[in-house]
A and B are shown apart, each in its own frame.
Chain A
Amino acid sequence: MAKFTAKPNELSKLDYAPPKTGWMDTPVEIREHMFCHAAKPKELDAVGFPNAREWRPADEDWKLPENWERLLLEKMKDLLDKYRSFKVFMDICVRCGACADKCHFFIGSGDPKNMPVLRAELLRSVYRRNFTAAGKILRKIAGARDLTVNVLKEWWYYFYQCTECRRCSVFCPYGIDQAEITMMGRELTNLLGLNIGWIAGPVAACYMKGNHLGLEPHTITSSIEFFLDDIETITGIRINPTFNRKGAEILFVTPSGDLFANPGTYTAMGYLMLFHELGLDYTWSTYASEGGNFGFFTTNEMAKRLNYKIYAEAKRLGVKWILGGECGHMWRVIHQYMDSWNGPADFLEEPVSPITGTKFENAKAAKMVHIAEFTADLIKNGKLRLDPSRNDHLKVTFHDSCNTARGMGLLEEPRYIIRNVCNQFYEMPEDTIREKTFCCGSGTGLNASENMELRLRGGFPRANAVKYVHEHYGVNMVANVCAIDRATLTTSIDYWVPGVGVTGVHELVGNALVMKGEKERTIDIRLEPLPGKEGTADETL
């Protein structure tokens, strides 16, 4: 595959005019740089996914199992019986088009099949043909069509061009949620072994080793050891976190991405510094070492299988409650699914902050608290000594993650923290934040490299809003509470708005946090000189 080289001004030349031919008569074109590689058979076999085989999306022959149509239609029936949302969303769309220009992939590509309404019609047309009287009799007049190989390919191509961000659902007069439809679509493709490697790999790794990156226990501790060395360099304080410790009060779970690559690692350092300063009785786990859940991008069952570890480990270690790190889809899963799947968590206690005594009423059943809720409470109660001037070299904006915004409603907590740890905070235009926030463009396991064009196109609306605050206020840092953002926004922002960085909220906290017994700080968590300390940094190192 040739490397993707298009320049930003070429990529943003967009034509929103639909093609001359109707969408049912316009066959899908599987375009290079827009799709991810197929999953490897061994990754699917590791978790027992069906129809594992070698195949390539660009090939004519996808080596489908012989009875694939029957398998799909039976599965569709099964999903319709299990989810009222699926039935209602198949039936009630009036095609008003309010969702059309709300999707980051449509805005960034102009491809009409990326309008949420049309992406859903790809599936609805087959639903009508097989499950409604009108569709069976009137066929195309009723918007129905047969399930063919080309239709299946179209499903695959476009259901892996949706990041389940739910922005369309905010604007839909009936709340029709494309995320829900994409989830059904992915259940269907998954049934035929049509998964993508970037999802299946992390799923297999997470199942066997406890985290998406496949970090084994000793690798986790040694990664964190590196962070501790850096923290010692910065603060002069040696931190000693514990792992898999029974009897700790709190189990801390965060996405493994934070242990692996910049700038996520800086966020992890922020957590370590905060917990140390609080003297928090907590433990990491190498078994439940993943907050995220790529299983959620395959099947509901797989998501539950991966999520199982969190409660199981909390029970084994005998902790009182669970604290969760900064992550997007992790929190959709924990907030809306975990207790239904693997609860009731009656072996845990209702979460209470040991520092402030605050009861987290909103988490009293699931017993898992978001770190932004935890830290906002600490700041409000004056439990942290903060020096926001250490972040004075940063002009910060906040990017709401899709899932925490629209699948949870966590909007004010991170903003409150940022305002307390930074002196310069600027919001992006209001139609691009909070419940109307734009996806980074690479969620739901689409953060591979071979689909770079797709990611950059999907990232365009977010980057465009960042560009606005960059040009107007000189914003040079995008804060967020999502590991995928930290891993992917860097690429997209660097492409569209060079000169703006990406950070987790708790990296900013770690920098501003005045720790007991620390030496005078001259460098920040990235080991870069603090504002006004440029001359002294070299001596410290």
Chain B
Amino acid sequence: MGSVFAFFVVITLTLIAFIGVKAASLHFLFGVLIPYAAFVTFLVGIIYRVLFWWGSSPVPFCIPTTCGQEKSLPWIKQNKLESPSSTLGVIGRMALEVLLFRSLFRNLKTQLYDGTKLVYGEAKWLWLAGLAFHWSFLLIVIRHLRFFMEKVPASMKMIEGLDSFLQIGAPLLYITDAVILSAVTYLFIRRVVIPQVRYISLPADYFPLFLIFGIALSGVLMRYFFKVNVTGIKELAMGLISFSYDPKVLEGTGVIFYIHLFLVSTLLAYFPFSKLMHMGGIFLSPTRNMVNDSRMKRHINPWNYPVKVHSYAEYEEEFREKMKGAGIPVEKE
């Protein structure tokens, strides 16, 4: 049910943009005001969540999940990435997590055969689809920066060149466009098809998938099928960052662009309040970003406070006679 609900929310959002621009001619609202509001919400929301919500709580204990041999005796080979004893090791570990999804790569599929035998099989599809999705998304975002630049730098052109090296169609097909649509489709299908994953899925899990699919699809339609006026869109984008808006440019851009932009705005505004904050959270996850050196270096708990204890004196008071009887030395005879 969550998926149906989320699907209709995204359809509704699309219709709002369509009617708002096509019927009500609210170009300024959808082309300028909403994108600004969304961008501000995105920035403020993320800063709030990272600095003032997560950041306001300390990390009282050093609790890395060790996934390899600790640093111990010099002749025992330490796993410097999975059980890092230095900041450099942690940086390596985090880089593997963030760039290559190291932990997800470990994924296994547990299966029970004949009710007696547990077998652990390879399960790399989620890792592969996740990686394909996130890297495509990143490259697409980078490609979009050309709309906000007077002169497009050579590095950007190189990314575009690589992304379209298959040389299919006109305009040239970007591989990332095909990959992101396939990956999101896979992520949706596995969510629906695997019973356990369907069982745990919330509307908040389907919504971003549909939303991102809608964004990618509207982008693809714009580029390959409706062939909107790209020069106009660039002018509009440049206008947004220089706070100057040309009504002619706004009105001269096709409605499909506004749908795309509205869905992107929704994603930006939704981001800080949702699970999408895993983007920031991964960097703050104490089980991954801490050095496994808690016996080498004292980790300070800022709220450590004195507690009521049962002292040795109290203990001896209670057991003195028994201790003496057993020949155990005591403080007071």
- Closest approach, in angstroms, between the C-beta of A323 and any C-beta of chain B? 13
Instruction: Say yes or no: is A304 at the interface (Cβ < 8 Å to chain B).
Output: yes
Chain A contact surface mostly: helix
| B79 & A341 in contact (Cβ 8 Å cutoff) | no
Q: 0/1 per residue, A459-473, Cβ < 8 Å to B?
A: 011001100000000
Q: Tell me the B90-123 residues at the A interface (CB within 8 Å).
A: 97, 101, 103-104, 106-110, 112, 115-118, 120
Question: Which residues of the other chain, B, contact A429 by a CB distance below 8 angstroms?
Answer: 120
**CB-contact partner of B59 in A85, A173, A373, A408, under 8 A:** A85
| A174 & B294 in contact (Cβ 8 Å cutoff) | no
Question: Which residues of the other chain, B, contact A118 by a CB distance below 8 angstroms?
Answer: 199-200
- Closest approach, in angstroms, between the C-beta of B211 and any C-beta of chain A? 14
A175 and B76 in contact, given A82-B57, A207-B310 (Cβ under 8 angstroms)? no
A16 and B323 in contact, given A81-B56, A173-B101, A337-B61 (Cβ under 8 angstroms)? no
Residue of B nearest to A133 (CB): B273
**CB-contact partner of A107 in B63, B72, B73, B118, under 8 A:** B118
A95 and B205 in contact, given A244-B328, A339-B298 (Cβ under 8 angstroms)? yes
| A92 & B107 in contact (Cβ 8 Å cutoff) | no
- Closest approach, in angstroms, between the C-beta of A435 and any C-beta of chain B? 4
Q: How many residues of A contact B (CB 8 A)?
A: 119
- Closest approach, in angstroms, between the C-beta of B297 and any C-beta of chain A? 5
| B309 & A84 in contact (Cβ 8 Å cutoff) | no
Which of B66, B202, B319, B323 counts the most chain A CB atoms within 10 A? B66
- Closest approach, in angstroms, between the C-beta of B329 and any C-beta of chain A? 5
Q: How many residues of B contact A (CB 8 A)?
A: 99
Question: Which residues of the other chain, B, contact A423 by a CB distance below 8 angstroms?
Answer: none
| A217 & B322 in contact (Cβ 8 Å cutoff) | yes
- Closest approach, in angstroms, between the C-beta of B86 and any C-beta of chain A? 12
| A91 & B307 in contact (Cβ 8 Å cutoff) | no
Instruction: Say yes or no: is A425 at the interface (Cβ < 8 Å to chain B).
Output: no
| B108 & A173 in contact (Cβ 8 Å cutoff) | no
Question: Which residues of the other chain, A, contact B329 by a CB distance below 8 angstroms?
Answer: 243-246
One of A358-366, A448-456, A486-494, A501-509 at the interface:
A358-366
Question: Which residues of the other chain, B, contact A464 by a CB distance below 8 angstroms?
Answer: 116-118
| B66 & A409 in contact (Cβ 8 Å cutoff) | yes
| A366 & B295 in contact (Cβ 8 Å cutoff) | yes
Instruction: Say yes or no: is B277 at the interface (Cβ < 8 Å to chain A).
Output: yes
Instruction: Say yes or no: is A102 at the interface (Cβ < 8 Å to chain B).
Output: yes
A412 and B112 in contact, given A18-B196, A177-B63 (Cβ under 8 angstroms)? no
Cα separation A207 to B82 with both chains bound (whole Å): 36
Question: Which residues of the other chain, B, contact A435 by a CB distance below 8 angstroms?
Answer: 66-68, 82
| B57 & A175 in contact (Cβ 8 Å cutoff) | no
Residue of A nearest to B273 (CB): A134
Which of A209, A221, A411 counts the most chain B CB atoms within 10 A? A411
Instruction: Say yes or no: is B274 at the interface (Cβ < 8 Å to chain A).
Output: yes
Instruction: Say yes or no: is B221 at the interface (Cβ < 8 Å to chain A).
Output: no
| A343 & B73 in contact (Cβ 8 Å cutoff) | no
